[in-house]
Amino acid sequence: MKTMECAAVICGSANAVSSGKPSFLPEHQEQRCPEQRGDHRPGRGQAWAARGCEVAVAEMGDVTALIAAFSGAEAVFILPPSEFDPEPGYPEERRVISAVVAALAAAQPVKVLCLSTIGADAPHDNLLTQRTLMEQALSALPMPITFLRPAWFIDNAAWDVASARDEGVIRTRPTVPTQPHRECLRQAQSPPAQGR
Protein backbone atom coordinates (compact mmCIF):
# COMPACT_ATOMS: atom_id res chain seq x y z
CA MET A 1 0.00 0.00 0.00
CA LYS A 2 1.43 3.38 -0.93
CA THR A 3 1.96 6.17 1.56
CA MET A 4 -0.39 9.12 1.13
CA GLU A 5 1.23 12.55 1.23
CA CYS A 6 -1.96 14.51 1.86
CA ALA A 7 -5.51 13.87 2.94
CA ALA A 8 -7.39 15.48 0.08
CA VAL A 9 -7.13 17.36 -3.19
CA ILE A 10 -9.95 19.82 -3.77
CA CYS A 11 -10.61 21.02 -7.33
CA GLY A 12 -12.57 24.24 -7.61
CA SER A 13 -11.36 25.52 -4.25
CA ALA A 14 -13.05 28.93 -4.62
CA ASN A 15 -16.49 27.41 -5.13
CA ALA A 16 -19.06 27.80 -2.33
CA VAL A 17 -19.30 24.03 -1.83
CA SER A 18 -15.56 23.39 -1.66
CA SER A 19 -14.43 26.59 0.02
CA GLY A 20 -15.36 25.63 3.57
CA LYS A 21 -12.27 23.67 4.56
CA PRO A 22 -12.66 24.05 8.32
CA SER A 23 -16.13 22.52 8.19
CA PHE A 24 -15.31 19.42 6.19
CA LEU A 25 -11.61 18.62 6.38
CA PRO A 26 -9.61 17.62 9.44
CA GLU A 27 -7.33 20.43 10.56
CA HIS A 28 -4.41 18.10 11.23
CA GLN A 29 -4.22 16.73 7.70
CA GLU A 30 -2.66 18.41 4.71
CA GLN A 31 -4.77 19.38 1.74
CA ARG A 32 -3.74 20.33 -1.77
CA CYS A 33 -6.00 22.69 -3.69
CA PRO A 34 -5.54 23.07 -7.43
CA GLU A 35 -6.16 26.67 -8.45
CA GLN A 36 -7.51 27.14 -11.96
CA ARG A 37 -4.80 28.48 -14.24
CA GLY A 38 -5.96 31.57 -16.14
CA ASP A 39 -8.76 32.23 -13.66
CA HIS A 40 -10.11 35.78 -13.72
CA ARG A 41 -9.60 35.91 -9.95
CA PRO A 42 -5.84 35.36 -9.63
CA GLY A 43 -4.56 34.39 -6.22
CA ARG A 44 -7.82 32.88 -5.04
CA GLY A 45 -5.78 30.01 -3.59
CA GLN A 46 -4.14 32.41 -1.13
CA ALA A 47 -6.91 31.86 1.42
CA TRP A 48 -6.25 28.13 1.26
CA ALA A 49 -2.49 28.66 1.58
CA ALA A 50 -3.16 30.77 4.68
CA ARG A 51 -5.02 27.76 6.13
CA GLY A 52 -1.96 25.58 5.62
CA CYS A 53 -2.88 24.01 2.31
CA GLU A 54 -0.54 23.43 -0.58
CA VAL A 55 -1.93 25.22 -3.66
CA ALA A 56 -1.34 23.62 -7.05
CA VAL A 57 -2.17 25.60 -10.18
CA ALA A 58 -3.80 23.31 -12.72
CA GLU A 59 -6.09 23.73 -15.69
CA MET A 60 -8.73 20.98 -15.60
CA GLY A 61 -7.79 19.77 -19.07
CA ASP A 62 -4.07 19.51 -18.31
CA VAL A 63 -3.37 15.85 -17.52
CA THR A 64 0.22 16.44 -16.40
CA ALA A 65 -0.73 19.23 -13.98
CA LEU A 66 -3.63 17.19 -12.60
CA ILE A 67 -1.44 14.13 -12.04
CA ALA A 68 1.00 16.33 -10.11
CA ALA A 69 -1.87 17.76 -8.05
CA PHE A 70 -3.54 14.39 -7.39
CA SER A 71 -0.40 12.34 -6.68
CA GLY A 72 -0.07 11.20 -3.10
CA ALA A 73 -3.62 12.19 -2.18
CA GLU A 74 -5.91 9.92 -0.21
CA ALA A 75 -9.06 11.59 -1.57
CA VAL A 76 -9.80 13.83 -4.54
CA PHE A 77 -12.87 16.07 -4.76
CA ILE A 78 -13.74 16.88 -8.38
CA LEU A 79 -15.78 19.98 -9.02
CA PRO A 80 -16.07 19.96 -12.82
CA PRO A 81 -16.10 23.34 -14.54
CA SER A 82 -19.54 24.34 -15.78
CA GLU A 83 -20.13 25.24 -19.39
CA PHE A 84 -23.51 26.88 -19.91
CA ASP A 85 -23.19 27.14 -23.70
CA PRO A 86 -21.34 23.99 -24.75
CA GLU A 87 -20.40 23.16 -28.32
CA PRO A 88 -22.40 20.33 -29.90
CA GLY A 89 -21.01 16.99 -28.78
CA TYR A 90 -19.35 18.59 -25.73
CA PRO A 91 -15.75 18.61 -27.05
CA GLU A 92 -14.36 20.83 -24.26
CA GLU A 93 -16.15 18.87 -21.57
CA ARG A 94 -14.88 15.61 -23.05
CA ARG A 95 -11.33 16.99 -23.04
CA VAL A 96 -11.64 17.85 -19.33
CA ILE A 97 -13.25 14.49 -18.51
CA SER A 98 -10.48 12.60 -20.31
CA ALA A 99 -7.82 14.58 -18.45
CA VAL A 100 -9.45 14.05 -15.05
CA VAL A 101 -9.92 10.31 -15.66
CA ALA A 102 -6.33 9.88 -16.89
CA ALA A 103 -4.97 11.83 -13.91
CA LEU A 104 -7.01 9.82 -11.39
CA ALA A 105 -5.97 6.56 -13.06
CA ALA A 106 -2.32 7.60 -12.81
CA ALA A 107 -2.44 9.05 -9.28
CA GLN A 108 -4.62 6.27 -7.82
CA PRO A 109 -6.17 8.10 -4.83
CA VAL A 110 -7.97 5.87 -2.35
CA LYS A 111 -11.35 7.49 -3.10
CA VAL A 112 -12.98 10.17 -5.24
CA LEU A 113 -15.90 12.50 -4.63
CA CYS A 114 -17.46 14.33 -7.57
CA LEU A 115 -20.03 17.12 -7.54
CA SER A 116 -22.53 16.18 -10.24
CA THR A 117 -26.15 17.28 -10.64
CA ILE A 118 -29.63 15.95 -10.02
CA GLY A 119 -30.17 15.64 -13.78
CA ALA A 120 -27.10 13.55 -14.52
CA ASP A 121 -29.24 10.45 -14.98
CA ALA A 122 -31.49 12.03 -17.62
CA PRO A 123 -31.79 9.70 -20.65
CA HIS A 124 -31.94 12.50 -23.24
CA ASP A 125 -29.22 14.91 -24.30
CA ASN A 126 -29.46 18.25 -22.47
CA LEU A 127 -27.24 20.83 -20.77
CA LEU A 128 -26.67 18.43 -17.86
CA THR A 129 -25.29 15.73 -20.16
CA GLN A 130 -21.81 17.05 -19.35
CA ARG A 131 -22.27 15.63 -15.83
CA THR A 132 -23.67 12.37 -17.23
CA LEU A 133 -20.50 11.99 -19.28
CA MET A 134 -18.32 12.74 -16.24
CA GLU A 135 -20.17 10.19 -14.10
CA GLN A 136 -19.93 7.51 -16.78
CA ALA A 137 -16.21 8.06 -17.28
CA LEU A 138 -15.37 8.19 -13.57
CA SER A 139 -17.45 5.06 -12.90
CA ALA A 140 -15.01 3.04 -15.00
CA LEU A 141 -12.18 3.76 -12.52
CA PRO A 142 -11.27 1.10 -9.93
CA MET A 143 -11.43 3.25 -6.77
CA PRO A 144 -14.61 4.01 -4.78
CA ILE A 145 -16.40 7.08 -6.17
CA THR A 146 -19.22 9.11 -4.63
CA PHE A 147 -21.35 11.39 -6.80
CA LEU A 148 -23.22 14.27 -5.16
CA ARG A 149 -26.34 15.23 -7.11
CA PRO A 150 -27.69 18.44 -5.56
CA ALA A 151 -30.69 20.19 -7.08
CA TRP A 152 -29.93 23.87 -6.41
CA PHE A 153 -28.02 25.60 -3.64
CA ILE A 154 -29.89 28.06 -1.44
CA ASP A 155 -26.73 30.16 -1.51
CA ASN A 156 -27.53 30.89 -5.15
CA ALA A 157 -30.71 32.68 -4.07
CA ALA A 158 -28.47 35.71 -3.57
CA TRP A 159 -28.63 36.06 -7.36
CA ASP A 160 -32.33 36.85 -7.03
CA VAL A 161 -31.98 39.78 -4.62
CA ALA A 162 -31.64 42.40 -7.35
CA SER A 163 -34.62 41.12 -9.37
CA ALA A 164 -36.73 40.85 -6.23
CA ARG A 165 -35.85 44.40 -5.20
CA ASP A 166 -36.04 46.00 -8.66
CA GLU A 167 -38.75 43.96 -10.40
CA GLY A 168 -40.61 42.22 -7.61
CA VAL A 169 -39.62 38.87 -9.14
CA ILE A 170 -37.96 35.95 -7.35
CA ARG A 171 -36.66 33.26 -9.68
CA THR A 172 -35.32 30.87 -7.05
CA ARG A 173 -35.70 27.13 -7.56
CA PRO A 174 -36.08 24.45 -4.86
CA THR A 175 -32.98 24.82 -2.73
CA VAL A 176 -30.55 23.04 -0.48
CA PRO A 177 -27.77 24.69 1.54
CA THR A 178 -24.13 24.01 0.72
CA GLN A 179 -23.41 22.96 4.32
CA PRO A 180 -24.81 19.40 3.95
CA HIS A 181 -22.59 18.94 0.91
CA ARG A 182 -19.61 20.09 2.95
CA GLU A 183 -20.61 17.44 5.49
CA CYS A 184 -20.59 14.85 2.71
CA LEU A 185 -17.10 16.01 1.82
CA ARG A 186 -16.05 15.61 5.45
CA GLN A 187 -17.54 12.13 5.59
CA ALA A 188 -15.69 11.24 2.41
CA GLN A 189 -12.54 11.55 4.50
CA SER A 190 -13.60 8.49 6.51
CA PRO A 191 -12.19 5.03 5.67
CA PRO A 192 -12.77 4.01 2.04
CA ALA A 193 -16.21 2.69 1.20
CA GLN A 194 -16.75 -0.32 -0.97
CA GLY A 195 -18.70 0.14 -4.18
CA ARG A 196 -20.08 3.41 -5.52
Pick the residue with more confidence: 102 or 170?
A: 102
**Number of structural domains in the chain:** 1
pLDDT digits 0-9 by tens, 114-133: 988 888 888 899 988 999 99
Is the pLDDT reported for residue 5 higher than 50? yes
Whether 196 is in a domain gets the answer: no
**pTM exceeding the 0.75 threshold for the entire prediction:** no
CB 66 within 8 A of CB 60: yes
* Nearest by Cα to 142 from 71, 194, 65: 194
Whether 194 is in a domain gets the answer: no
Whether 61 is in a domain gets the answer: yes
Collapsing DSSP to helix, strand or coil, 77 comes out as strand
Pick the residue with more confidence: 123 or 50?
A: 123
Average pLDDT estimate for 15-42:
47
Burial of 88 (0-12, 13-18, 19+ CB in 10 A): exposed
Domain range enclosing 132: 6-187
Q: Which amino acid is at 19?
A: S
Q: Residue 196: count other Cβ atoms within 10 Å of its Cβ.
A: 10
Residue 105 belongs to what H/E stretch? helix 91-107
Is the pLDDT reported for residue 143 higher than 90? yes
Whether 39 is in a domain gets the answer: yes
Pick the residue with more confidence: 188 or 165?
A: 165
Q: What is the CATH number of the domain that holds 72?
A: 3.40.50.720
